[in-house]
Amino acid sequence: MASRHREDAVLVIGLGRFGSTLAETLQGLGHHVVAVDSNHDLVQRWSGKLTHVVEADATSEEVMRQLGAHEFRQAVVAIGTGIEASVLATGVLLDLSVAEVWSKAITREHGRILERIGVNHVVYPERDAGERVAHLLTGRLIDFLELDDNYAIAKLRAPRAICGRALEKTALRSRYGITIVGAKKPGGEFTHAEAGTVLDVGDLVVIAGRPDRVESFAAEIGGS
């Protein structure tokens, strides 16, 4: 298989909405992608867009070995709805010693089973998207990403209350527990924020801090 010796090759199992988007994006970024799905119609549909699409049952170790799955360093199991198939396919990849296996889970219980059999990363696309949209809906945030339980970054319009003077004069860290990481003028590009950076109304800023502090900062002075 073409994956041999290619460090950047990624094996993607399942061409549903998540798996196909992942495979297409990886390929667009220049990675070598081999996608596997057991559904004949889906394989046909994607074979025009993805370079390597294979129709196969990923729960069979024999089939996956023949495909050369053991030669990949990274694989993603993007089967969510069929928990049994997801767990079996993940187990096959782990047994074949794929170094880094990522699997999509639909529920927390599904994720726990995957963790118990030794998967390296569990991804919860629906849960993560739901959380993110909740933050966007309730606040003044234009974008929000929780990197860890204790750390998030967000994009918002520069609140008027902190415009017109150098960031070091705003005491944002002590008052709100957040840091301005970057800023962008209308039509410009994001640049790193520094102590002397002066924001103007209309600028966009990226802030970082604890998720609740990011939220309260945006809620308290975001509209001012």
Binding region for ligand ADP (CB under 6 A): 13-19, 36-39, 42, 57-59, 79-82, 85, 89
Q: State in angstroms the smallest separation of the CB of 60 from ligand ADP.
A: 8
CB-based closest residue to ligand ADP: 16
Q: State in angstroms the smallest separation of the CB of 12 from ligand ADP.
A: 10
Q: State in angstroms the smallest separation of the CB of 217 from ligand ADP.
A: 34
What H or E segment, with its residue span, contains residue 213? helix 211-221
State whether residue 153 is helix, strand or coil.
strand
Q: Is the Cβ of residue 17 or residue 165 nearer to ligand ADP in the bound state?
A: 17
Q: State in angstroms the smallest separation of the CB of 123 from ligand ADP.
A: 11
Q: Is the Cβ of residue 10 or residue 183 nearer to ligand ADP in the bound state?
A: 10
User: Own/partner pairs for 113-121, CB < 8 Å, 24+ apart?
Assistant: 113/83, 113/87, 114/86, 114/87, 114/90, 117/87, 117/90, 117/91, 118/94, 119/77, 119/90, 119/94
What H or E segment, with its residue span, contains residue 215? helix 211-221
Q: Is the Cβ of residue 69 or residue 204 nearer to ligand ADP in the bound state?
A: 69
| Residue whose entry in the numeric block shows the structure tokens 């297409």 | 24
For 21-89, the three-class secondary structure string (H helix, E strand, C coil) is HHHHHHHHCCCCEEEEECCHHHHHHHHCCCCEEEECCCCCHHHHHHHCHHHCCEEEECCCCCHHHHHHH
Q: State in angstroms the smallest separation of the CB of 104 from ligand ADP.
A: 7
Q: Is the Cβ of residue 82 or residue 177 nearer to ligand ADP in the bound state?
A: 82
Q: State in angstroms the smallest separation of the CB of 55 from ligand ADP.
A: 8
Cα(84)–Cα(59) distance, rounded to whole angstroms?
9
Q: Is the Cβ of residue 79 or residue 167 nearer to ligand ADP in the bound state?
A: 79
Q: Is the Cβ of residue 26 or residue 79 nearer to ligand ADP in the bound state?
A: 79
Q: Is the Cβ of residue 57 or residue 131 nearer to ligand ADP in the bound state?
A: 57
Computed over its alpha carbons, how large is the radius of gyration of the chain?
A: 22
What residue type is 172 in one-letter code? Answer: L
Angle at 126 between CA 44 and CA 134, to 5 degrees: 140
Q: State in angstroms the smallest separation of the CB of 148 from ligand ADP.
A: 25
